[in-house]
Amino acid sequence: MSAALHDRIRDALQTDVVRTVPLSGGCVGDVRAVDLADGRTIVVKSGGSQLDLEGWMLQVLAERSTLPVPAVLYCNADLLLMSHIETDGGITASVEQDAADHLATLHAVTGDAFGLERDTLIGGVHQPSPQSKHWVPFFAEHRLLHMAKDAHQAGRLPAALVSRIETLCGRLDRWLAEPDTPSLIHGDMWTGNVLCREGRIAGFVDPAIYYADPEIELAFATLFNTFGDAFFDRYNEHRPINPDFFEARRDLYNLYPLLVHVRLFGGNYVVSVEQTLRRYGV
């Protein structure tokens, strides 16, 4: 960490940096645990862009929900200072059950429209979120089509697959219906963003929030095997899951995070996108 960054942290928090330790999981910028002279340990993200937007999303979650997230101590475009969350292990059945309690409560936070009052980010990639009264066209245009075209422009998704995604978007009403209300979601629910301590959730990080059909969050939680039966059994106690979700809509909703990964990494994620399209007859 540079002397200039030490100075910026001191100016923001009125205390000196004593020690820094690199942390894993920094998709956007450099991430470090930093011990301060006043006895606090904080997390510092630096060197990225639009970190103020990540800070804003964390603040929205803190203000509108009870989801445990880091407290934002300071943020601007290239520097984010957050409270440090202690962890001691991975995801267990008891963690999954606790996560289900938290996410069911989060999804009970509703809004007047799908989207959000400003655009957001997912994995550092632009995520447009114009407010819309209708979910299915929002999901088609601002999730699937937007990310497919962005991935194509980045040279990672062939034009033929973009065309097939356009065809799929014209048929979404075969599988998707309008939810009763827009629900607030974390938006990037995978293992790396779930912090655990003593068999419970310690916090959720790196959000990509907006108001959505909460099934898209449930789907994402299965994409990389983040949560399993313990999670879904408990979540179902709070908010009954439609019985055809897993068979009819989970893979369709997971097409969006797959496209995000194509945009970021390309490679085998393109194959997964093509397999999903074939599964839905496109």
Residue with tokens 């400003």: 118
Q: Is 21 exposed, middle or buried (0-12, 13-18, 19+ CB in 10 A)?
A: exposed
Q: How far apart are the first and last CA of the chain?
A: 49
Per annotation, catalytic residue among 98, 150, 188, 213: 188
Q: Which residue has the tokens 């942290």?
A: 9
**Closest listed residue to residue 180, CA positions, set 264, 107, 88:** 107
Q: Which residues of 172-209 are buried (b: 16+ CB within 10 A; e: fewer)?
A: beeebeebebbbbbbbbbbeebbbbeeeebbbbbbbbb
Instruction: Determine whether 188 is an active site residue.
Output: yes
- Catalytic sites, residue numbers: 188
